[in-house]
Amino acid sequence: MSDSKKMQPIACGDKTIVPEGAKKIPIIVMGKEYLIPESLTVMKAVEYAGYKYHRGCGCRGGICGACGFFYRYEGDYKLRTGLACQTVAKPNMIIAQIPFFPMKRAAYNIGDLEETPEEIIRAHYPEVFKCVGCGTCTRTCPMEIDVMGYVAHMKQGNIKKAAKKSFDCILCGLCVSRCPAQISQPTAALMARRLNAKMLTPVADHLSKRVDEVGSGKYEKMLENLGSLDEESLKKLYMEREREPDLAKPGEWMPEDLTHL
Ligand code: SF4
Ligand code: SF4
Ligand code: FES
């Protein structure tokens, strides 16, 4: 095998590997045109153009919400949104990133709240009742969440449904930036999810049992043993571990070795 074959670079994480002979396309960042190789994400294209991220970049995996951006195509009226780490740059995109957008965050200690979940939401986020049902938030959301729908559930006092519908929210703030009623939908929804977990969801007995076991020190010796192993032994242990088969039916598979359960 030749050295060049052995050294094939892998494009992962924040590493930009430009495909050989890639066609160059124009994009506009902060009002200035740059030629970048096609097939890069917007995040990598902006870096290729010479910018360095100090904010507005986190997981690079579509889950942290730090890289929301707006864009238009030249000559097209439509304002679009996306996550810079998940959207492939296209010719003539005019790009503006919003690494942060101010949202209202109600101050509360979840343990001190005693009213019903719907009363609590009404007291802390009364502005949800100003929603005019325009649907802009839903059209803006890069996670394809029915934002208007979860706001409607909050208005109706159905906190469980609001929690469920907003579950995939990554708090990118794009919907907040567009709401004519100035609602901070993601933080209100975060409160709905917390209330749902605290007040509307049955306590999981198995979780309490496991927390008690951890507290009683059951796993400390096992952790100590693991910590004393060298790298090779750890790798071997990892490679030889019992794994749940990919197609196992939920709740049906159990490992043969039950020592750690
Ligand atoms: S609901 Fe709003 S904050 Fe949450 S992911 Fe969608 S646009 Fe972003
Ligand atoms: S953008 Fe604001 S007013 Fe419009 S539907 Fe969404 S929450 Fe309601
Ligand atoms: S960097 Fe985390 S969602 Fe894009």
pLDDT at 5 over 50: no
End-to-end CA distance of the chain: 47
What pLDDT is recorded for position 247? Answer: 86
Cα 129 to ligand 2 centroid, rounded to whole Å: 10
Amino acid at 79: L
Residues with CB under 6 A from ligand 3: 57-60, 62-67, 83, 85
Choose the residue to mutate in 101, 127, 137 for probing ligand 2, maximizing ligand atoms within 8 Å of C-beta: 137
Residue 172: CB within 6 Å of ligand 1?
yes
Shortest-distance Cα residue to atom 4 of ligand 2 = 134
**Mean pLDDT, rounded, of the chain:** 92
| SS3 at position 36 | strand
Q: What is the pLDDT of residue 159?
A: 98
Where do the domains of the chain lie, and which CATH numbers do they carry?
20-97 (3.10.20.30), 110-200 (1.10.1060.10)
Q: Quote the ligand 3 centre to 67 CA distance (angstroms).
A: 5
Q: What is the DSSP string of 79-124?
A: -EEEETTTSB--TTEEEEE-S----------GGG--S-HHHHHHHH
In tens, the pLDDT along 17-61 reads 777 788 999 999 999 999 999 989 999 999 999 999 888 889 999
Closest atom of ligand 3 relative to the 59 alpha carbon: 2
Position 206 confidence tier, pLDDT thresholds 50, 70, 90: confident
Tens digit of each residue's pLDDT (9 = 90 or more) over 66-114: 999 999 999 999 999 999 999 999 999 999 999 899 999 999 999 999 9
Q: Is 129 in the pocket of ligand 2 (CB under 6 A)?
A: no
| Distance in angstroms (rounded) separating the CA atoms of residues 12 and 145 | 27
| 145 C-alpha to ligand 2 centroid (Å) | 13
pLDDT number for residue 4: 44
For residue 142, how far is the Cα from the chain centroid? 10
The whole-model pTM stands at: 0.81
pLDDT greater than 90 at residue 203: no
Q: Is 211 helix (H, G, I), strand (E, B) or coil?
A: helix
Bridge partners of 33, per DSSP, are 28
Q: Is the CB of 151 under 6 A from ligand 1?
A: no
Q: Kindly report, residue by residue over 170-199, the tens digit of the pLDDT.
A: 999 999 999 999 999 999 999 999 999 999
Q: How far is the CA of 38 from the centre of ligand 1 (A)?
A: 28
Other beta carbons less than 10 A from residue 239's beta carbon: 7
Does residue 141 have its Cβ closer than 6 Å to ligand 1? yes
- Measured from the CA of 171, which atom of ligand 1 is nearest? 3
Predicted pLDDT at 13: 52
Tell me the C-alpha distance between 138 and 205, whole Å: 37
- Say if CB 46 and CB 84 are below 8 A apart: yes
Q: Dump pLDDT digits (tens) for 229-241.
A: 999 999 999 999 9
Which of 14, 41, 47, 59 for a ligand 3 pocket mutation test, highest count of atoms within 8 Å of Cβ?
A: 59
pLDDT of residue 15: 64
